[in-house]
Amino acid sequence: MDSRAHGFKHYKNYFFRLFLLFVDQFLNFFKNEITRLPDYQTTRLLYHYIMKKSPLFFLVILLITSCNSEGQHTYTNALIKESSPYLLQHAHNPVNWYPWNEEALKKAQDENKLMVISVGYAACHWCHVMEEESFQDTAVANLMNQHFISIKVDREERPDVDDVYMTACQLASNGNCGWPLNALALPDGRPIWAGTYFPKKQWMEILGYFIEIKDNQADKLENYAQRLLDGIQQLDSYQIPGESSELNKEHIENVAAGFLKRVDFKDGGIAGQLKFPMPVSFEFLLDYHAQDENERVLEAAELTLKKMALGGIFDHLAGGFARYSTDEKWMVPHFEKMLYDNAQLVSLYAHTFQITKNPLYENVIHQTLNFIENELTSPEGGFYSSINADSEGEEGKFYVWRKEEIDQLITDPIDNKLISDHFDIKKNGNWEEGKNVLAVRKSVQELANQNGLSVEQVTDKLRASKKTLFEARKKRIAPSLDDKILSSWNALMISGYVDAFKALGEQKYLEKAIKAGQFLAENLLKGDGQLYRNHKEGVSSIDGFLDDYALLIQAFLDLYQVSFDTEWLNKAKLLNDYVLQHFQDPSSPLLYYTSDLSPPLITRKKELDDNVIPASNSIMAHNFYQLGLILYDTALVNKSKSMLNLMINNMGENPDAVYYGNWFRLYLGHLNPTKEVVIIGPDFAKKRDLIQHHFFPNAIFLGGAQENELPLLQNKFVAGKTMIYVCENKVCKLPVEEVEEALKLME
């Protein structure tokens, strides 16, 4: 449910309770008299009571009619008890939906019914389309209710369930998969088939086909299930190498060269009709450039970031990035905005700014974090999940403009021309059906040259016009907000704020990161290290998965290294110890995605391939490495190496950095000695911040005003001075006091 409606919902409930009081009063008045009167006198008595004795009753009825009509529903299913906004969107479908829980799974087995497992998320456009076409339709609902146990899953809350059935879809439908994900399964949960969006007629035909197979050829379903289960389990089987692979520079050079072949050097990004940001892939390029100084690599990253910043995928009025671009020029976005995209893109732009000092990237960071603060930040300091692509049933309606709207709002001819030329606003639209997507097509300098104005004049005029458009857009019906808080995505945003602080030095960004870290520690982390995945309206209900632990450990390590507050380090170690206790595979160095305490699925999978968000195993391998160095724990460092070694041996001859970008960032870390930077003394914070203003992807930072129990800090304090030690493999160069000298030692 959109949190922006919470206040209204509260008053609706208040009026409803008030209405019940009047109903009680009304019944008491009539219980004796109304039964004695003829019809016409009853009518008169009703009028007399309502209008003469209690006119407020009449007003309350009007209020309830206007305010609560939305709450009157013909159907209500078991999803009504859930907190997920996506599940609640389906709570009044005629389909008898269940959440994924023991009750639903047991019901399927008790009644020997096939299961429909439908997976989506609140910001998913085609999920809404299929709901309207099929799941709100009584004919479809009757068919599903009679023959199936239907389960709705929020993929953002239950990525473990989504992964099992998405893998089944990849195997069953030749890779034609996405969300909504609709899987059919045997009563024991084994998938027999899966696909994505289907129009109503086709969906009913699919259901009918499997109903007939179950009734007449049930052995076929068993065969389908076994083949899919075998395929799912085989995909997770990685061969354990007999000996360690030799890390070498040539290997990583080939990986970088192979990735560059996939880059669109005209419009940026990975070549293709659709463009996804894929931050981790370009983080790999930045890390590689930092160690190799390959200018072609930096060019690929910079071109991508510039094109994205100027394209329609970026919201030029409010800040923040949409999910992806539907064209190769980053012009027309799929308009949903996800926390995890924006968090990682803040980090990517911050790292690129550290290298280039390009003010465009600084501006993008500021605007994106303004969007996060204004739209996705809870009062407690946590971060909401996403904003829908749709409003008023139409994708992108909130964001696009018609030329006549611009003309009515920007009446000055020069201002109108500037804003129209800047964003390529056309009478017939630059998109479809006369709509214009705001994307920069002429720079401020070009506009200044063409109109005989100074850059400052154009900048001021554009700023004023954009503010006018922004204020007008605020009056539109906004897309809905998914206000659940997820540990893993919040952790990414903490790291994003930390990276922005390091790049730009703005204290408020560090304060936001610390506040979010405290919120997660207080509300989702238990004393023994167990972590919840979700939080909404004070309630956490789902056990954390490996990505929740991995990304929060990473975030806590980031917070330690920009604050030197050992409490963050202690929390990172607490979580890390829990992972080692509950996620280990005894036969492999890689980790399971689910805890051994979580209810089992049909198979226990591992998340290995980096994608839009890096794989939880690759993040944990980084965490083991960093924690091992900070804590002097060689067992953790060796575990990181073992995980990397296994992956290298199973990636194939030409591994793609799109799917292994974070693994190759770790490869670079192990290939070249990591700098261990100790800053200790009264002026540690200032010197640390100055050093971290630069980009050092292969360095860890420790220190404080005094020594503490960390081994690397022992015997390094010098009274009255702030010393900087640059070390490799625990061997330190002579200490220095000046930041410039330390930077030279780190080169």
- Residues 536-583: pLDDT tens digits? 999 999 999 999 999 999 999 999 999 999 999 999 999 999 999 999
CATH number at residue 105: 3.40.30.10
The CA–CA distances, whole Å, from 493 to 376, 487, 598, 615, 678 equal 11, 10, 26, 17, 26
- On whether residue 705 sits in a domain, the answer given is yes
Residue 64 phi/psi, 5-degree rounding, is -65, -40
What are the structure tokens assigned to 583, written together?
């996620």
Residue 393's contacts (CB-CB under 8 Å, 6 or more residues apart) are 132
Structure tokens at 4: 């922006």
- Domain limits at 369? 266-392+476-483
Instruction: Tell me the C-alpha to C-alpha distance, in Å, between residue 410 and each of 406, 442, 472, 477, 535.
Output: 6, 18, 11, 21, 43
The pair phi, psi for residue 229, each rounded to 5°, is -65, -40
Q: Under a CB-based contact definition with an 8 Å cutoff, are residues 386 and 320 in contact?
A: no
The answer as to whether 156 is a domain residue is yes
3-state helix, strand, coil in the chain (%, to 5): 55, 10, 35
Average pLDDT over residues 279-297: 94
From residue 579, alpha-carbon distances to 34, 604, 650, 696 in Å are 70, 15, 24, 28
pLDDT tier for residue 440 given thresholds of 50, 70 and 90? very high
Contact indicator for 278, 238 with CB cutoff of 8 Å: no
| C-alpha dist (Å) from residue 3 to 334, 373, 488, 541 | 22, 15, 21, 19
Residue 244 has pLDDT above 70, yes or no: no
User: 116 and 190 share a domain?
Assistant: yes
How far, in Å, CA of 727 to CA of 713, rounded? 11
CA-based nearest residue to 546, from 633, 616, 471: 616
According to DSSP, the β-strands at 148-154 and 114-120 are: parallel
325, 378: one domain:
yes
Task: Give SS3 for 54.
Answer: coil
Residue 146 falls inside a structural domain = yes
| Distance, CA of 631 to CA of 239 (rounded, Å) | 31
The predicted pLDDT at position 173 comes to 80
Q: Residue 503: inside a domain, yes or no?
A: no
> Looking at residue 72, what is its pLDDT?
74
DSSP bridge pairs for 275? 325
454 and 335 co-located in one domain: no
Do residues 322 and 413 share a domain? no
Check: CB of residue 269 under 8 Å from CB of residue 333. no
8 A C-beta contact, residue 122 and residue 385:
yes
Cβ distance 554 to 499 under 8 Å?
A: no
Question: Which CATH number is 682's domain given?
Answer: 3.40.30
Residues 101 and 47 in one domain: no
Burial class (CB within 10 angstroms; exposed 0-12, middle 13-18, buried 19+) of 212: exposed
Q: Note whether residue 515 is domain-resident.
A: no
Show which of 55, 71, 87 is a domain's final residue.
71
d(CA 238, CA 421): 55
* pLDDT at site 69: 44
Here the tokens at position 613 are 């968000």
Closest CA to 254 of 664, 643, 645: 664
Whole-angstrom distance, CA of residue 62 vs CA of residue 453: 58
At residue 650, the pLDDT reads 85
Q: Hey, what are 459's tokens?
A: 């900048």
CA-wise closest residue to 346 among 382, 308, 375? 308
Instruction: Confirm if 279 and 345 have CB atoms less than 8 A apart.
Output: yes
pLDDT value at residue 242: 61
From CA 87, how far away is CA 79, in angstroms rounded?
Answer: 6
| Residues 388, 391, 393, 394, CA torsion sign | negative
Whether 30 and 138 map to the same domain: the answer is no
- Encoded amino acid at 200, one letter: K
Task: Please report the pLDDT score of residue 243 as a whole number.
Answer: 62
The model's pLDDT over 363-419, given as tens digits with 9 standing for 90+, comes to: 999 999 999 999 999 999 999 999 999 999 899 999 999 999 999 999 999 999 999
Same domain, 22 and 170: no
User: What does the DSSP 8-state code read for residue 65?
Assistant: H
Query: Over the Cα atoms of the chain, what is R_g?
Result: 29
* Structure-token match 């929390």, residue found: 571
Q: Could you tell me if residue 326 is inside a domain?
A: yes
The stretch 462-489 carries a mean pLDDT of: 96
Query: Which contiguous run of DSSP H or E holds residue 699?
Result: strand 699-704
Question: What pLDDT does residue 190 have?
Answer: 95
pLDDT at residue 46 in the model: 43
Query: At residue 114, what are phi and psi to the nearest 5 degrees?
Result: -65, 155
User: Based on the domain organization, do 11 and 110 belong to the same domain?
Assistant: no
Element (H, E) at 97: strand 97-99
Are 11 and 124 part of one and the same domain? no
Helix axis angle for 507-523 and 487-504, nearest 10°, is 160
Cα separations (Å) of 335 from 228, 282, 323, 470?
A: 34, 22, 7, 16
Q: Rounded mean pLDDT of 714-735?
A: 94
Output the domain CATH number for residue 299: 1.50.10.20
Higher pLDDT, 66 or 262: 262
Task: Render pLDDT for 75-119 as a digit per residue (tens, 0 to 9).
Answer: 999 999 999 999 999 999 999 999 999 999 999 999 999 999 999
Interatomic CA distance for residues 322 and 341, integer angstroms: 8
Instruction: Please tell me whether residues 205 and 274 are part of one structural domain.
Output: no
pLDDT tens by residue, 169-205: 999 887 678 999 999 999 999 999 999 999 999 999 9
275 and 388 co-located in one domain = yes
pLDDT bracket for residue 64 (50, 70, 90): very low
| 8 Å CB contact between 663 and 607 | no
Residue type, 729: N
In a domain, 443, yes or no: yes
342 contacts 321 by C-beta, under 8 angstroms: yes
> What is the rounded distance in angstroms from the CA atom of residue 299 to the CA atom of residue 155?
36
Q: Is residue 441 part of a domain?
A: yes
Q: In terms of domains, do 692 and 715 share one?
A: yes
The answer to whether 261 and 657 are in contact (CB under 8 A) is no
pLDDT digits (tens, 9 = 90+) for 313-341: 999 999 999 999 999 999 999 999 999 99
Residue 559 is which amino acid?
L
User: What total number of domains does the chain contain?
Assistant: 5
Upstream peptide bond of 199 is cis (omega within 30 degrees of 0): no
Give the pLDDT of residue 245: 67
Rounded to an integer, the average pLDDT of 633-639 is 97
Question: Mean pLDDT over all residues of the chain?
Answer: 90
DSSP summary character for residue 713: G
Pairing of strands 485-486, 534-535: antiparallel
Torsion of CA 589, 591, 596, 598, to 10 degrees: -170
Three-state DSSP at 588 gives strand
Task: Quote the CA–CA distance of 7 and 44 in Å, as a whole number.
Answer: 38
The number of C-alpha atoms within 13 Å of 378 and in the hemisphere containing its C-beta is 25
Asked whether 417 and 451 are in contact (CB, 8 A), the reply is: yes
- For residues 208 and 214, what is the distance between their CA atoms, to the nearest angstrom? 10
Q: Which has the closest alpha carbon to 310: 184, 132, 474, 444? A: 444
At residue 375, the pLDDT reads: 97
- Report strand pairing: 699-704 vs 675-680: parallel
Give the position of tokens 């002429």: 442
Query: What is d(CA 362, CA 500) in angstroms, rounded to the nearest whole number?
Result: 9
DSSP-assigned letters across all residues of 226-286:
HHHHHHHHHHT--PPPSSPPPP-HHHHHHHHHHHHHHB-TTT-SBSSSSB---HHHHHHHH
Residue 172: predicted pLDDT:
87
